[in-house]
């Protein structure tokens, strides 16, 4: 059974907030034709029980997907997109920072602007300092890696058309990055300003490690530019070493015969080039590792059970 609007919400340790998020969506949508897809991404708290309770309470509109372990936000979103049946799909967080009323504004906006994807651009961001810094860096890199227009801000609050959702769901790699997949499908993308609230409870579960791994997915999975940058770095360092060698020889022979050109110079040069080589090898190794894991059948996600219309499937 299809519907007009789907809400996909990845759930991770949000037992305290997810009920309020679902209730707000229900109140905002009223009699609209919609559905809510909750994806429990290996939560360690009571999120599973809370989501099951919501499914029992609203079986006509709520689908619950329970993953076997924590796969990551973008993997969980992809699992939800596979289950979403709406003509348009809104992706929003589980912490209450994305108001349901603003989700409906996204829905109205994507139809009015006739875009494939519409992002919510926060008037004032309520994220932590660490996440804001990493988001800013990620946004600048996306301009280069994904050929993203600089005026578009990649937020987790967005709406996609059925066409884009179907194309994104064709991806079979083990390391999905939803925004990268979106830009691989279409450039008919827009944004509108939306409100961004404080969390209803608790603290963000994003750590430096998770943010770094998310950045790697964007940096390595959708472009070979890092390899080209590595090659350019190698060429530049080689040219630099030749120029430095010539300068040392000129200085020693014609300028200052007493200048020291021994062990310190050699050690510094070795350390410099060793660092560059390790960076290049690391980038190549990361690409090869991801190819190996993809070919080895590493899953995007594993669904332990799916509960829709009060039945296990």
- CA-based radius of gyration for the chain: 24
Length of the chain (residues): 313
Helix extents (H) in the chain = 18-29, 47-57, 73-83, 100-113, 129-145, 162-168, 178-185, 208-221, 225-250, 263-295
| Number of helical H runs and strand E runs in the chain | 10, 9
What local confidence, expressed as pLDDT, does residue 313 receive?
43
Nearest alpha carbon to residue 153 among 115, 194, 184, 181 = 194
The reported pLDDT for the residue numbered 263 is 63
Q: What is the pLDDT of residue 306?
A: 96
pLDDT of the chain, 313 residues: tens digit per residue = 568 999 999 999 999 999 999 999 999 997 779 999 999 999 999 999 999 999 999 999 999 999 999 999 999 999 999 999 999 999 999 999 999 999 999 999 999 999 999 999 998 887 667 667 767 777 777 777 777 888 898 889 999 999 999 999 999 988 899 999 999 999 999 999 999 998 888 776 666 666 676 666 766 676 666 766 777 777 777 777 777 777 777 877 777 777 666 666 676 677 677 777 777 777 787 778 778 777 778 899 999 999 997 444 4
Q: How far apart are CA 181 and CA 185, in angstroms?
A: 6
Each residue of 157-207: pLDDT tens digit?
999 999 999 999 999 988 899 999 999 999 999 999 999 998 888 776 666
**Contact of 203 with 131, CB cutoff 8 Å:** no
- Supply angle C-alpha 301, 191, 96, rounded to 5: 55
Q: What is the pTM of this model?
A: 0.79
The strand pair at 117-122 and 158-161 is best described as antiparallel
């Amino acid at each position: 059974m299809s519907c007009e609007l789907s809400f996909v919400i990845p759930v991770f340790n949000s037992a305290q907030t997810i009920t309020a998020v679902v209730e707000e969506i229900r109140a905002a949508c009223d009699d609209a034709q919609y559905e809510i897809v909750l994806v429990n991404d290996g939560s360690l708290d009571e999120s599973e029980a809370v989501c099951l309770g919501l499914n029992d309470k609203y079986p006509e509109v709520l689908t619950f997907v329970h993953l076997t372990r924590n796969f990551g936000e973008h993997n969980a979103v992809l699992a939800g997109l596979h289950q979403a049946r709406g003509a348009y799909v809104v992706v929003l967080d589980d912490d209450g920072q994305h108001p349901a009323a603003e989700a409906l504004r996204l829905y109205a906006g994507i139809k009015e602007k006739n875009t494939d994807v519409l992002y919510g651009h926060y008037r004032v961001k309520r994220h932590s300092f660490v996440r804001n810094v990493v988001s800013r860096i990620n946004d600048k890199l996306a301009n280069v890696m994904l050929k993203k227009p600089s005026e578009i801000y990649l937020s987790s609050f967005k709406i996609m058309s059925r066409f884009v959702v179907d194309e994104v769901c064709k991806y079979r790699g083990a390391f999905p990055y939803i925004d990268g997949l979106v830009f691989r499908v279409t450039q008919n993308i827009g944004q509108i300003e939306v409100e961004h609230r404080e969390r209803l409870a608790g603290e963000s579960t994003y750590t430096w490690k998770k943010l770094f791994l998310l950045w790697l997915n964007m940096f390595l999975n959708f472009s070979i530019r890092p390899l080209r940058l590595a090659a350019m770095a190698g060429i530049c360092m080689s040219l630099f070493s030749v120029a430095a060698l010539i300068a040392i020889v000129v200085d020693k022979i014609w300028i200052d015969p007493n200048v020291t050109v021994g062990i310190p110079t050699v050690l510094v040069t070795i350390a410099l080039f060793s660092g560059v080589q390790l960076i290049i090898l690391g980038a190549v190794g990361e690409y090869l590792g991801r190819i190996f894991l993809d070919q080895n059948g590493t899953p995007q996600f594993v669904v332990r059970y799916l509960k829709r219309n009060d039945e296990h499937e």
